[in-house]
Amino acid sequence: MKPATGVFGDLPGYLGGEVGPTAEVSRFVAEVDGRKIPDEALRLARTAFVDVAATTLAGAAQPAGRIMTVYVRESGGSPEASVVAAGFKTAAARAALANGAMAHALLYDHTTTVTAAHHSVALAPARLALPERTGATGRAVLEAYVFGFETLDRGHVAINLNAY
């Protein structure tokens, strides 16, 4: 059986040898070079951000989105990052939490063929909140998204979470 292929090459599964799943994913994290991300992967990342933006806006009107927005607003926090469709900023982590809950509220977000998991709703909200606080470039945000996506796929494959 041929291993699945990711942006940075094969996604090796844990085969019970000397290298375990944690070591496999750790090696990838330590060795990755964002400058080597193919243009096509960055294009797909941009498309994923548009998808997440749409699902987040739709989720903002849902009970889960409204409840999370109220919770985050009442929790306070320094105004670092925007909460979508809410008209306020809060701490980046809280904004990512609220935006992620809204993005996932309707389960319209896409999945991956490698793991059937919903990576984008976990990755995009955090990748969008941090640049408001840190001033990261659009390219850095896209690289972080692709890197996170690939890391999640590798983690799932390494520990055989395909049953999910």
Q: Quick one: what percent of the chain has pLDDT higher than 90?
A: 51
- The model's pLDDT over 66-118, given as tens digits with 9 standing for 90+, comes to 999 999 999 999 999 999 999 999 999 999 999 999 999 998 877 777 777 78
Listed in sequence order, the residues at least 6 apart from 157 whose beta carbon sits closer than 8 Å to its beta carbon are: 3, 4, 11, 12, 13, 114, 115
Residue 39 has pLDDT above 80, yes or no: yes
Residue 148 has pLDDT above 50, yes or no: yes
Q: Which amino acid is at 53?
A: A
Long-range contacts of 68-76 (CB under 8 A, 24+ apart): 68/97, 68/98, 68/101, 68/102, 69/98, 69/102, 71/98, 72/97, 72/98
Distance CA 141, CA 126 (A): 10
